[in-house]
Structure 1
Amino acid sequence: MRVLFADAVSGATVTELESRGHVCVVDPALRAGDLAARVDGFDALVVRSTKVGRDVFEAADRLALVIRAGAGTNTIDTEAAASRGILVANLPGRNAAAVAELALGLLLAIDRRIVDNATDLRAGRWDKSGYSRAQGLLGSTMGILGLGSIGLEVAQRARAFGIDVRTLSKPGRDPDVLARAEDLRIGMVDSLADLLPCCDIVSLHLPSTPDTVGLVDQEFLGQMRHGSILLNTSRGELVDEQALLRALDDRDLRAGLDVYADEPGTGTAQWSSPLAQHPRVVGTHHIGASTQQAQDSIAAGVVELIDAFVEGEARNCVNLTPSRIGSATLTVRHLDRVGVLAHVLDRLSRASLNVEHMENRVFRGGGAAVASIDVAGAVPEGLLADLDALPDVLGVSATEIAGDA
């Protein structure tokens, strides 16, 4: 495969991929507007912060895989990729510990006024009396919005500081998440109106979606306690910055921010932000995931995703539908011989059944196999008997897929 890296990448990643016979081109100077003219001839594209728009997918001649070397894929037009059969994959959880560490670092810096302490000392000012009035974190309450891998890592560290942790209850939450939440003794409440007024700290760990953009608005901030702390290490768009600026003054709120709605898209820039410069804000430069440990883990993850793709596995793909779609699943047991499935698929085509998902597994010994085929459309009477009569087919059954619309 030919792989284009549009952002900086570890040399170890390139070495690993090249040792597998792949051709790697690293061009960290590429900008979003340059990609469409550069992507021709590449099978895979790896990006960190560079945006990948519809124009890139329209221009690509052989692109089959885009990897976001991180968790969020909001900078990639996943719908445009899906319409052209291009997989978009990400690496969730690889930087969770790094982001959680920064969130707790921001919290400590706010509570103990570490930045102001250090600034005064460097300027030759000693003010032990002024800096000895911190509240402390023991026994406080933190509300976590977004109980994914990062939110859970934040909760674990908060509990170690003696902080009570709460979050919103959510139907259909993954059993593993619920089990870990129970281990960490995370309390569940039904609504923001129940959560915000009881929290000394609110920490955001949500993706940027139409439902979350502007979530932290005047109403949200008005429900927070006077003097409480807002932490945002997820996405700047979640916060109405003008509303937060007012709340910092009117409600004595404090904030620890690693992300901003209009932050520069480059590594270095001249940038002035009333929010980042506010005296009640401790800000950092969108560095939540920027530890060597996190970058090493992400680099290894890129290699794993490409290895899986070469082997025919779409791992961590965000723009495929769930595997169980369609109207019915056909299970075809058959001898493992050339052409058997071709005949099966021919019969499905004649019956106007579209294959939505298919998997074929060979039994031990290699003599037989079983194919599971999800199809869309009405399964006509007589199809099963027709399939069962095919040479080398051992048996056929069909089950309806629940919830098919």
Structure 2
Amino acid sequence: MAFIIAIWVAGVVLFARTRLVVEYESVNSYRATAGVGQFNGSYIPEYLQRYKDTDQAYGPAVLPYSTVNTASNLVVNPMHSTAISPVVCGEGKVCHSYLLSGGLLMTTPWPPTTYASFPVITLRNIPATQIDFVRGIHNDTFDDAEDCAVFGAEGFLIAMKFCLARSQSSPGSMIAGIFVCLQGMNGSDCWTSAKPPEVTTTFSIYQRHASITTSRSNFSILSVDRLDVPVLDAAPDVEGLKEAFNWLFNFTAANIPAPSSIAEYFWAGQDQLESEYWSVEPYQIFQSILAYPFWLFNPNNFGNVNLHAKDIVPGLPADFYTTASIGNPYERIVVDRSMFILFCVLQGLVQGFAWGVMIWLWTVNLRFPEASSYPIIDFAAKTRFAYSSQSAGVSQVANDPSDDLATAVGDRSIRNCLKGRRIMTCE
């Protein structure tokens, strides 16, 4: 019994941490640029100037619909971003983290349309930006004059105050918040209550590398693998970020009506912002807006006006140049290394014990008992039938009934086998 239990335990140990992982068979590879790198605020003036150059006579700033649309759902869009575990999350805090890898949409050149039956493309070791958000602001405050700007329009109640600053309590992080101006704006002041509806966060930026697998059919990021160690961006370009957010939020400069602005969403969601549960949606939109400049104004996006949509351009940092592989997924069983070693040890002990017993039996001359605990079996196995012919003076062995005795079951069968025969016992 102990022998069987030992074998069973070894089998359980082997599969204790066994995983089923998805791998990808590559059928074709090609060179590409991909990934999301570090934010570069110097791209912003030239990028905005290109919009102005489309019509020199047009006075307002240009804020395209595509910008507002993408900025509103960037971190929850699986074509651009992947939710992952935060690098650090303090006890009792609400943390969210997103890896902006750009996916297949930010690759150059466009993927080939051959090998249509192979559904995925894998991008290896590409740059990625991780943004960790902690809900709320802890042990930090804003300086209204330095850190905040009010966005609104005369004649409308719709207005908001946006603040951005470096965190003093968490070096390397930033704090940001949107505060609803309940009564609109007066000059450059936000008219609101002492505690207006708000959404605030503390966030940190990390640079990483990862391999990602994307769907060819809908461009979604299917998996993120081989993440390297995150490197904190300890000196973010806060002034460059303020310039980007001023472009996004200043709807009057873009000649956009207040009801069509980003500010309107937060102003109309006052009740949501005051509910811890229902404020999840505006908080996610705020996270997306904060992440948008990091996604747009990096070397491998069109915030860099030198980038081409279909052709690989020289001059990008070396880690943006990578290999993309068209492939097909398959499943593979992965056995945990430590569990496999333990399995081998247990199996070795069991096998060693078994072979040890066999060798001992072969090498030791054992004297087995003459009789067992089952007398009927002993009787059937050891009985021999002898026929003696006194008239001829010759004794000979007749037909041996031991075969019948060996198969006899019960006392009656044994008596039938021995009927008419003389039984002799031998010492």
* Same topology, TM > 0.5: no
Tell me which protein shows more strand as a share of its residues.
Answer: 2
Q: TM-score range by the shorter chain?
A: under 0.3
Higher relative contact order (CA 8 A, sep 6+): 2
TM-score (norm. length: structure 1): 0.19
TM-score (norm. length: structure 2): 0.18
